[in-house]
Amino acid sequence: QVQLTESGGGLVQAGGSLRLSCASSGRSFSLLHVGWFRQAPGQEREFVAALIWSGSTYYADSVKGRFTISRDNAKNAVYLQMISLKPEDTAVYYCATVGRPVPLGTAGSYDDWGQGTQVTVSS
């Protein structure tokens, strides 16, 4: 089992930036597919971005061009750099991992999840 811990959330004004981090106490991220999801109050958890073991990245249309997912193998960490933040980006952000080929945009595909970090964007 992979234990994941997110950090880096906070309160930021619209147009600002944040970088979220996801640390793993288990397997190396280089062997896993990693996804970032978010969930706003009263809404379903939605896909934000994914980084597969080979390094390919995928993004939801709503964040494309603003968010960047990346991996630091030396630190065994995955990041989500977010710029040009909008109030509609406000949510709890989760990182998740899976070790086999799956539909990356589906939350149910992932085996392990972090506890989430709150991102609040004020207008």
- Residue 1: pLDDT over 80: no
Q: Kindly report, residue by residue over 55-110, the tens digit of the pLDDT.
A: 999 999 999 999 999 999 999 999 999 999 999 999 999 999 999 999 999 999 99
| Residue 117 and residue 51 in contact, taking contact as beta carbons nearer than 8 Å | no
| Residue 63 and residue 80 in contact, taking contact as beta carbons nearer than 8 Å | no
- E strands, the chain, are 4-7, 10-13, 18-24, 33-39, 46-51, 57-59, 67-72, 77-82, 91-98, 112-113, 117-122
Q: Kindly report, residue by residue over 16-70, the tens digit of the pLDDT.
A: 999 999 999 878 898 999 999 999 999 999 999 999 999 999 999 999 999 999 9
